[in-house]
Amino acid sequence: MKHGSPATVRSHVGTAAPGCPVERSSTAVACGKTKPAPTLEARAAGTIKLITARLKSFHRVFNAALREIFDESAYARFLSQRQLASSRAAYAAFRQEHEIAKARRPKCC
């Protein structure tokens, strides 16, 4: 596993690219160049695009959460770690390993 040194990583977090000011607003600068004001159509298209992207992202995360809660992701990781294809035997092995750990997890009241 690779880790950068703390100092190296810190210098790149929360700052803009070298030489550029920190961005303050949506109409701000990209390193000295002023953006032209977008047209109404372009703004509407941008908003729709943004909403679509957000919805897609929500759907992706929602699915991922369900897959994690219902152990489908854990099974996928199990298969990938052992380089197995999904099968009855693989699932049985996964359940055997997984259930011992799961049995120790408390469920709240």
Partner 1 sequence: MPKFLRILIWIAVALLGALALATVAFHRGEQINAMWLVVAAACSYALGYRFYSKFIAAKVLTLDALRATPAERLENGRDFVPTNKWVVFGHHFAAIAGPGPLVGPVLAAQFGYLPGTLWILAGAVFGGCVQDFVILLFSVRRDGKSLTEMAREEIGRLGGLVAYIAVISIIVILLAVCALVVVNALKASPWGTFTIAMTIPIALLMGVYLRTLRPGKVLETSALGFILVMLAIWGGQWVSQSASVARWFTFSAPALAILIIVYGFAASALPVWLLLAPRDYLSTFVKLGTISLLALGIIALRPTMHMPPLTRFIDGSGPVFAGKVFPFAFITIACGAISGFHALISSGTTPKLIRRETEARVVGYGAMLAESMVAIMAMIAACVLQPGIYFAINSPAGIVGQAPEAAALTISNWGFPITAAEMHALAQSVGEQTLYNRTGGAPAFAVGMAHIFSNSLGGQALMAIWYHFAIMFEALFILTVLDAGTRVGRFMIQDALGHVWKPLGRTSWYPSILATSGLIVAGWGLFLWQGVKDPLGGINSLWPLFGISNQLLATVALCVATTIVIKMGKARYAAVTLGPLLWLVAVTFTASWHKIFDPNPRIGFLSHAAQLASAPAANARLIFNDRLDAVVTGALIVMVGLILIESAVEWLRVLSGRKQARVKESPFVATRFAEEQG
Instruction: Give residues in contact with partner 1 (CB under 8 A).
Output: 1-6, 8-10, 12-13, 25, 61-62, 64-78, 80-81, 86-88, 90-92, 94-95, 97, 99-101, 103-109
CA 39 to chain centre: 32
- Quick one: 39 or 81, whose CB is closer to partner 1? 81
Q: Let me know: does 69 contact 53? Beta carbons within 8 Å.
A: no
Residues present in the chain in total: 109
Closest approach of partner 1 to the CB of residue 92, in Å: 7
Question: In whole angstroms, how close is the CB of 39 to partner 1 at the nearest point?
Answer: 21
**Contact between 73 and 67 (Cβ < 8 Å):** yes
Please say whether the beta carbons of 84 and 90 come within 8 A: yes
* Least distance between partner 1 and beta carbon 28 (Å): 12
| Residue carrying structure tokens 């897959």 | 67
Whichever of 4 and 31 has its CB closer to partner 1, that residue is 4
